[in-house]
């Protein structure tokens, strides 16, 4: 059993700000903290994990940043975690997504559980920041993953290398050059695929664009995301986490087109995630050509937010 499988869910503790703590507005807009000569190099900030303990000043400030955010899950009598294993329960209730408006401005935070309830999405209260990593090896093959059977949303579907969320923590809220999102991508590539941080330096991710989409998973769950599309070309060591990933494969362009054909024909029960299919249909193959030519910077457009359906 993995270490994460033994972690039990503990409801978050409400923490009051002391009078000495500056108001949340003092922390906006977010910038990389100033470092003294004795401070670690800024690149090490990506390994910082902000907790909710009373000893963490930043966590206390941001736990109260948006008083309207719903961070406490429903009572256990409502069985909100019915059917979840221990790992997914912890992620759904402890991880807090970054709520944004349609212009990608931060408006608050909420649990992953609340952000993915379809009823909340339909009410327009759950738009959150996300990222999708497309990792290519030196042969320009794309690494795909099949999501594990225990995933709450979209289990067993095939998708791009890694899809997840930057969390409401200091290192992943840095807006400049999408550094917060790139920090989160490095973290999740290790969590899901066991790819070491040194194999995917944050400065090697190329943010190419942003999409906004909404998609149901089933009657209870769905996605409503403002998704950063990150490309990276690296040969990496991969050791998938079975709690997150059922299978992986590298594909070239022709092999991906065959997967698309099978998914469209309903062959072999093969399904693709809706966000991956949107990227494939709108951007992927022309961006893939830039990967092969070494001209990815020509494809980047981080000013537009593409609303896709």
Token duo for residue 69? 């955010």
Distance between start and end Cα atoms, the chain? 39
Largest CA distance in the chain: 62
Instruction: Tell me the C-alpha distance between 292 and 279, whole Å.
Output: 18
Helix, strand, coil percentages in the chain from 3-state DSSP, rounded to 5: 35, 20, 45
Are 141 and 239 within 8 A, CB to CB?
A: no
How far, in Å, are 199, 232, 288, 289 from residue 203 at the CA level? 11, 10, 20, 21
Active-site annotation, residues: 163, 225
Cis peptide before 42 (omega within 30 of 0): no
Residue entry with tokens 């909710």 = 52
Dihedral of alpha carbons 32, 36, 39, 42, sign: positive
Torsion, CA 101, CA 105, CA 111, CA 113, rounded to 10: 30
Instruction: Tell me the C-alpha distance between 32 and 172, whole Å.
Output: 11
Give how far the C-alpha of residue 9 lies from the chain's centroid of Cα atoms, to the nearest Å: 20
How far, in Å, are 26, 227, 302 from residue 178 at the CA level? 21, 12, 9
């Amino acid at each position: 059993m993995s270490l994460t499988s033994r972690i039990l869910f503990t409801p978050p503790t409400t923490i009051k700000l002391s009078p000495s703590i500056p108001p949340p507005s003092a922390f906006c807009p977010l910038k990389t903290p100033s470092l003294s000569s004795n401070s670690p190099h800024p690149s090490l900030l990506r390994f910082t994990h902000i907790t909710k303990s009373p000893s963490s000043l930043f966590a206390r400030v941001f736990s109260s940043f948006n008083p309207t955010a719903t961070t406490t899950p429903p009572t256990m009598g409502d069985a909100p975690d019915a059917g979840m294993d221990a790992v997914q329960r912890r992620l759904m209730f402890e991880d807090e997504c970054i709520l944004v408006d349609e212009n990608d401005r931060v408006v608050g935070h909420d649990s992953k559980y609340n952000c993915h309830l379809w009823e909340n999405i339909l009410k327009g209260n759950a738009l959150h920041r996300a990222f999708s990593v497309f990792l290519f090896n030196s042969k320009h093959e794309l690494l795909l993953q099949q999501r594990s059977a225990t995933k709450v949303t979209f289990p067993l579907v095939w998708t791009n290398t890694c899809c997840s969320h930057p969390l409401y923590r200091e290192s992943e809220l840095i807006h400049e050059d999408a550094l917060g999102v790139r920090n989160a991508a490095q973290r999740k590539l290790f969590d899901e695929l066991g790819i070491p941080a040194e194999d995917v330096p944050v400065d090697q991710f190329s943010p190419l664009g942003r999409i906004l989409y909404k998609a149901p998973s089933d009657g209870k769950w769905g996605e409503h995301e403002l998704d950063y599309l990150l490309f990276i070309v690296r040969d990496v060591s991969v050791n998938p986490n079975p709690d997150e990933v059922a299978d992986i494969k590298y594909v070239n362009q022709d092999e991906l087109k065959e997967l698309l054909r099978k998914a469209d024909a309903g062959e072999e029960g093969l399904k693709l995630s809706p966000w991956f299919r949107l990227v494939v249909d709108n951007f992927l193959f022309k961006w893939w050509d830039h990967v092969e030519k070494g001209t990815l910077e020509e494809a980047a457009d981080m000013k537009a937010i593409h609303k896709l359906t």
